[in-house]
Amino acid sequence: MASREPDVLLDALVIGGGFNGVYQLYRLRQQGFVVQLFEAGSALGGVWHHNRYPGARVDSHVPDYAFSLEPLWRNWTWSERFPGREELQRYFAHVDSVLNLSSHVRFNTRVVAATFEPGENRWRVESADGHTVYTRFLIPCLGFASRAYTPALPGHQAFKGRSHHTAHWPTEGVDFAGQRVGVIGTGASGVQVVQEAAPAAEQLVVFQRTPVFALAMQQQHWDPETRQRLKSGYADAYRRRGESTTSFSDVKADPRRAVDVPEPERSAIFEAAWQRGGFHFWAGTFRDILSSPASNRLAYDFWRSKVLARIQDPGIAAKLAPEEPPYPFGAKRPSLEQTYYDVFNQPNVQLVDLKETPLVELNATGVRTQTGQYDLDVLVLATGFDASTGGFDAIDFRGLGGRTLRTAWSTGVTTYLGMAIPGFPNLLMLYGPHSPTAFCNGPTCAELQGEWVVRCLEMLRARGATRIDASDTAAAAWKEHMDAEFSDSLLHKADSWYMAANVPGKPRQLLFYPNTQKYLAQCSQCADNGYQGFVIR
């Protein structure tokens, strides 16, 4: 039933119950603010609540991928180095019970509109069920993957089988056993689904447009004794994580340029990173892998040698790991894999290269490409997300003069410090565009970036201020700073969601700030200089 609470003015409303929203709720409440959290789903967890496709698993390792608060890890152990979705959901339930969060969360509440009222210096926020609240400060914690991207595929409606996007997986699940399964998309979600579908399906067809450069996960399963023992290193790991450029306590690149390091030392460093698994081979080899084409090529060639050794058919190998890299290594997110390259040796698994034989249409029985028809029972769309800005587009944000955020960002994102937006006072977003986000990870960003917002609100309260505005000049300078700082990055050379280039029509730009420590230094400097770039009243 629709409800309205005009007399209640919250200090802060947090939108989104993933790591960032949860941390804000906990910390702001702890500091005595009146705060509530609205979550569209029925439980906390963010992407771990919403993404329930088979094989969903985090590819940032624990304990880095968790909150550093001791009351949370004291009575919690992880069973694996890269936990799956169910364990992450249990973790959120644990966080909820230790920090007592749910009492301040309104679940099943999808925010649809938020309008700034300048007379009152407050936001009016409306949800899909007709509920309205007023809040002094609005803190969107929408994550970068809250809006799925489904490409327009000709004939999609005609397909008579089951078709599911990985982010909208049916709660009752999909049994792949004995089915003819097709997977479109080979990013992190595609890789994970393929690994689950290959052993079960009668036939699996993987439709690849661009090969993923997947890295060895090097998963570890821990017995109860090991789980406890590992905790003795947690406090130190979290301290190091807070000082790390990569946002991982133990992923650190050699300060030399890869090309300057002679063999066999260079290969030994590559090999060590490979054996450590996860993102070590992406961010923990040499400092110039993502800026020097020559060093990048060395990393690619090493990666390729590892992959070729796993694939029997040279034709398939050439598609999964081409001799010439189609984009610089690591410029698209390198998913982690456990059996991905092995499954292509199975007789029931087929790889279709959509660059070579483009998709023509979906029809009643399956997918037709320029050279063949693939009949399917189940089609999995692992086609990703309208990263970062998609979640904002889904809400009708209206700032000063009734200007919508969709209009303000129609030609590209404008922010100050990746947290504030000129023309949208009293709005401080976390884990959004122009901040480290995809180059950090949820829990780490939640704490490091989140503390800045907590301190900012404390400062405003101490000053008796009711309004904070980011200036246009500061936002323009922030954009210039990002452009100058990362102009030589090879990230620009791939059509990735980092570059907002995975969704047709989206303005191409570097969406995230690829250096957490540099970013945090800029934020601290702003606060230390009296919140330079903001107008406070």
C-alpha gyration radius of the chain: 23
Q: How far apart (Å, rounded) are the C-alpha atoms in residues 292 and 432?
A: 28
Q: Is 55 in the site for ligand NA7 (CB under 6 A)?
A: no
Closest approach, Cβ 48 to ligand NA7, in A, equals: 11
Nearer to ligand NA7, 380 or 428 (CB): 380
State phi, psi for 468 to the nearest 5 degrees. -135, 130
Number of other residues whose CB lies within 10 A of the CB of residue 184 = 25
Q: Is 163 in the site for ligand NA7 (CB under 6 A)?
A: no
Asked if 350 contacts 205 with a C-beta cutoff of 8 angstroms, the reply is yes
Name which position in 41, 84, 151, 161 contacts ligand NA7 (CB under 6 A): 151
Q: Is 189 in the site for ligand NA7 (CB under 6 A)?
A: yes
Asked if 149 contacts 390 with a C-beta cutoff of 8 angstroms, the reply is yes
Closest approach, Cβ 153 to ligand NA7, in A, equals: 7
Closest approach, Cβ 482 to ligand NA7, in A, equals: 21
Contact region for ligand NA7 (CB under 6 A) — 99-107, 196-204, 379-387, 415-423?
379-387
Contact region for ligand NA7 (CB under 6 A) — 80-88, 118-126, 381-389, 426-434?
381-389
Q: How far apart (Å, rounded) are the C-alpha atoms in residues 16 and 41?
A: 9
Q: Is 209 in the site for ligand NA7 (CB under 6 A)?
A: yes
Find tokens 């009222």 and name the residue.
117
Within 480-519, which residues bind ligand NA7 (CB under 6 A)? 497, 502
Asked if 391 contacts 208 with a C-beta cutoff of 8 angstroms, the reply is no
Nearer to ligand NA7, 53 or 67 (CB): 53
Asked if 330 contacts 213 with a C-beta cutoff of 8 angstroms, the reply is yes
Task: Determine whether 363 is exposed, middle or buried from the number of CB atoms within 10 Å of its CB (0-12, 13-18, 19+).
Answer: middle
Question: Dmax over Cα atoms in the chain, in whole Å?
Answer: 70
Name which position in 16, 18, 46, 190 contacts ligand NA7 (CB under 6 A): 190
Contact region for ligand NA7 (CB under 6 A) — 95-103, 179-187, 301-309, 395-403?
179-187
Nearer to ligand NA7, 135 or 189 (CB): 189
Q: Is 246 in the site for ligand NA7 (CB under 6 A)?
A: no
Contact region for ligand NA7 (CB under 6 A) — 68-76, 188-196, 248-256, 307-315?
188-196
Q: Where are the alpha helices (DSSP H) in 424-490?
A: 442-463, 472-485
Name which position in 139, 183, 336, 382 contacts ligand NA7 (CB under 6 A): 382
Name which position in 49, 85, 147, 333 contacts ligand NA7 (CB under 6 A): 333
Task: Determine whether 200 is exposed, middle or buried from the number of CB atoms within 10 Å of its CB (0-12, 13-18, 19+).
Answer: middle
Site string for ligand NA7, 344-363 (x = CB under 6 A): ----------x---------
Q: How far apart (Å, rounded) are the C-alpha atoms in residues 395 and 161?
A: 32
Nearer to ligand NA7, 11 or 59 (CB): 59
Contact region for ligand NA7 (CB under 6 A) — 135-143, 222-230, 376-384, 483-491?
376-384
Number of other residues whose CB lies within 10 A of the CB of residue 55 = 18
In Å, how far from its chain's centre is CA 176? 27
Name which position in 182, 185, 432, 450 contacts ligand NA7 (CB under 6 A): 185
> Roughly what angle, to the nearest 10 degrees, separates helices 442-463 and 19-30?
30
Q: Is 384 in the site for ligand NA7 (CB under 6 A)?
A: yes
Nearer to ligand NA7, 24 or 437 (CB): 437
Q: What is the DSSP letter of 470?
A: E
Q: Is 188 in the site for ligand NA7 (CB under 6 A)?
A: yes
Number of other residues whose CB lies within 10 A of the CB of residue 244 = 21
Among the listed residues 16, 333, 14, 59, the one whose alpha carbon sits nearest the alpha carbon of residue 146: 16
Closest approach, Cβ 1 to ligand NA7, in A, equals: 36
Give the tokens for residue 108.
């099943």
Closest approach, Cβ 276 to ligand NA7, in A, equals: 20
Question: Which residues sit at the interface with ligand NA7, rule CB under 6 A?
Answer: 145, 151, 166, 184-190, 209-210, 333, 354, 382-385, 497, 502
